[in-house]
């Protein structure tokens, strides 16, 4: 990174402000004024930091319960109604409720794990069917974890309802297979209690979805899969301790935030390309995409000024990307900076030489260093992170490194990194469209064939939106029929007799 010699000195006032803001956040200040709540994901790996004894107890007791539950499941003390032991996990969630567990499962998983994990992380019916096709014959040995902080997330609710129906079709008692991870007193919490689900774990009010992997959201599936959650938390705690250092040059998270600021001139003018040279870390770029873009993509700063901040994140893995888009990175538009992630240990097994004295891992290392050098020679800047191997401790440390970097960067550019008003706007727009679909359905039921324009006028709606609702219904509801006109505007829609 070719930052000028005086860059750190010029950034000193902002750096000092960021350190103060982070100290206040960890001490329990209201860091999300929109929701009037604290932001306490740092307490999850060091409960002693929690600002009250009750919060500390909540964290410690939840972790103990998770360990006991996972141990009882693996030992067969908690077992499916059909007997035997649970063998599979089906986690239903979206966004932060799924991305963290997905990344960790892919990074740490092996065929030796006592349970494997599947995910419903969308509201795509075909996506549901693809997962069910894989595990249908094993539903009797599948433990379902439904994760939703509010309990009202529609995508998660839809996945839960479809899963309940699939269990009923197989004459299985769904509550004997179901676990809820949700906010205390949420709709999901009440539903799980009312129906006698086998366990419920809390999603704390002061933990946001994109930083929830070290809460029950991530720890419950991790423990069930046999991963060492204590080591995972210890890695994060160790990174937290190192990144509290007040010397920016010795603080890895602050260095990252400063390089992001330098690369994009404090306005996100360059994209962040994440290139882990390890298959186990391929989902890290997807995980960081949410962490960075949901945290930093904001219309207004803390003073209410329109700033349109953010950093675009994308990536896959090396050396795959050398056969994909590295060509553009080296020779195309210079609108990015790269982060290489290097893993020291090639494999867990023995050494195999593909040439005399050379292994596949040697090639991987060579491609990383070669690509890094080639980009630099072409005037393209990069950051390199190195970890010894992919294990619980180092994965926890990587996540913590970026969580704090995001918080620091938010302070450097004076935005709130802990709310997501744009996400809520999208949910409201979707709700409005579904209400429109109900109105359109009522109009179809009320009479003979009508055009989209006629229906739109009768309910005072946008004809184009009505037309697309009708097309969706024709393709997915066999009762809705279309009589084609010479032009789409003349198409007539009706309900089959």
226: left (phi over 0), alpha (psi -120 to 50) or beta: left
Report, as an integer, the average pLDDT of 34-55: 93
Report, as an integer, the average pLDDT of 476-496: 91
Separation of alpha carbons 219 and 83, rounded Å? 25
Count CB neighbours of 211 within 10 A: 26
pLDDT (0 to 100) of residue 82: 62
Question: For the chain, what is the largest distance between any 2 Cα atoms, rounded to a whole number of angstroms?
Answer: 79
Q: Which domains does the chain have, with CATH numbers?
A: 7-33+242-417 (3.40.50.10490), 41-227 (3.40.50.10490), 422-495 (1.10.10.10)
Separation of alpha carbons 63 and 166, rounded Å? 31
Active site residue 427: yes
Cross-strand partners of 116: 88
Token reading at 456: 């739109």
Active site residue 294: yes
Contact criterion met (CB below 8 Å) for 317 and 281: yes
Q: Are strands 298-300 and 306-309 parallel, antiparallel or unpaired?
A: antiparallel
Report, as an integer, the average pLDDT of 357-375: 95
Cross-strand partners of 119: 91
pLDDT in tens, 85-106: 999 999 999 999 999 999 999 9
pLDDT (0 to 100) of residue 426: 73
- Choose, from 155, 164, 294, 403, the residue flagged as catalytic: 294
Q: What percent of the chain has pLDDT over 70?
A: 99
Backbone angles phi, psi at 118, to 5 degrees: -125, 160
Q: How would residue 84 be classed by pLDDT, with cut points 50, 70 and 90?
A: confident
Active site residue 67: no
Does pLDDT of 424 surpass 80? no
Closest to 48 measured CA to CA, from 60, 38, 62: 60
Greatest mean pLDDT among 216-225, 427-436, 444-453: 216-225
How large is the C-alpha radius of gyration of the chain?
Answer: 25
Q: How would residue 321 be classed by pLDDT, with cut points 50, 70 and 90?
A: confident
> Which contiguous run of DSSP H or E holds residue 155?
helix 154-169
Contact criterion met (CB below 8 Å) for 261 and 310: no
Contact criterion met (CB below 8 Å) for 387 and 398: yes
Q: What is the pTM of this model?
A: 0.93
Separation of alpha carbons 148 and 182, rounded Å? 5
- Choose, from 23, 308, 427, 432, the residue flagged as catalytic: 427
27/425: higher pLDDT: 27
Separation of alpha carbons 495 and 497, rounded Å? 6
Token reading at 446: 């009320």
Report, as an integer, the average pLDDT of 42-71: 97
CA 317 to chain centre: 18
Token reading at 9: 């000195």
Helix-, strand-, coil-residue percentages of the chain, each rounded to 5: 55, 15, 30
Residue with tokens 């210079």: 334
- Choose, from 323, 356, 428, 484, the residue flagged as catalytic: 323
Closest to 39 measured CA to CA, from 47, 31, 27, 50: 31
């Amino acid at each position: 990174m070719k930052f000028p010699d005086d860059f750190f000195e010029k950034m000193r006032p902002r750096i000092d402000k960021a350190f103060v803001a982070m100290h206040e956040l960890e001490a329990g200040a209201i860091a999300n004024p929109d929701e009037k709540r604290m932001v306490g994901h740092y307490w999850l790996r060091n409960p002693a930091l929690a600002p009250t004894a009750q919060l500390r107890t909540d964290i410690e007791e939840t972790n103990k319960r998770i360990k006991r539950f996972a141990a009882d499941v693996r030992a067969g003390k908690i077992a499916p109604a059909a007997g035997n032991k649970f063998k599979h996990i089906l986690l239903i969630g979206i966004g932060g409720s799924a991305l963290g567990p997905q990344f960790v499962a892919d990074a740490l998983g092996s065929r030796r794990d006592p349970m494997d994990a599947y995910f419903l992380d969308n509201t795509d019916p075909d996506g549901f069917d693809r997962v069910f096709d894989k595990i249908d014959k094993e539903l009797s040995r599948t433990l379902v974890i439904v994760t939703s902080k509010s309990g009202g997330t529609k995508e998660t609710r839809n996945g839960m309802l479809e899963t309940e129906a699939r269990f009923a079709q197989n004459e299985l008692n769904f509550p004997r297979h179901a676990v809820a991870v949700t906010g205390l007193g949420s709709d999901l919490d009440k539903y799980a209690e009312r129906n006698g689900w086998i366990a419920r774990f809390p999603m704390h009010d002061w933990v946001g979805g994109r930083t929830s992997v070290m809460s029950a959201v991530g720890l419950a599936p991790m423990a069930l899969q046999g991963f060492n959650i204590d080591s995972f938390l210890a890695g994060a705690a160790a990174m937290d301790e190192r990144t509290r250092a007040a010397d920016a040059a010795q603080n890895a998270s602050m260095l990252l935030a400063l390089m992001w600021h330098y690369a994009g001139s404090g306005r996100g003018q360059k994209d962040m390309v994440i290139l882990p040279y390890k298959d186990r870390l391929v989902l890290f770029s997807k995980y960081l995409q949410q962490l960075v873009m949901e945290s930093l993509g904001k219309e207004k700063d803390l003073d209410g000024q329109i700033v349109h901040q953010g950093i675009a994140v994308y990536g896959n893995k090396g050396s795959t990307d050398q056969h994909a888009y590295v060509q553009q990175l080296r020779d195309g538009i210079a609108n990015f900076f790269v982060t290489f992630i290097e893993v020291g240990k090639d494999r867990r097994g023995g050494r195999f030489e593909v040439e005399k004295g050379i292994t596949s891992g040697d090639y991987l290392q060579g491609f990383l260093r070669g690509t890094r050098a080639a980009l630099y020679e072409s005037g393209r800047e990069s950051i390199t992170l190195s970890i010894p191997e992919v294990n619980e401790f180092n994965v926890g440390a990587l996540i913590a490194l970026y969580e704090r970097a995001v918080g620091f960067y938010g302070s450097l550019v004076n935005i709130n990194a802990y709310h997501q008003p744009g996400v809520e706007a999208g949910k409201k727009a979707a709700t409005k469209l579904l209400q429109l679909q109900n109105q359109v359905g009522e109009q179809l039921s009320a009479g003979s064939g009508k055009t989209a324009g006629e229906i739109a006028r009768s309910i005072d709606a946008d004809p184009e939106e009505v037309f697309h609702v009708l097309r969706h219904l024709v393709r997915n509801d066999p009762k809705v029929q279309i009589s084609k006109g010479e032009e789409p505007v003349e198409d007539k829609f009706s309900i089959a007799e």
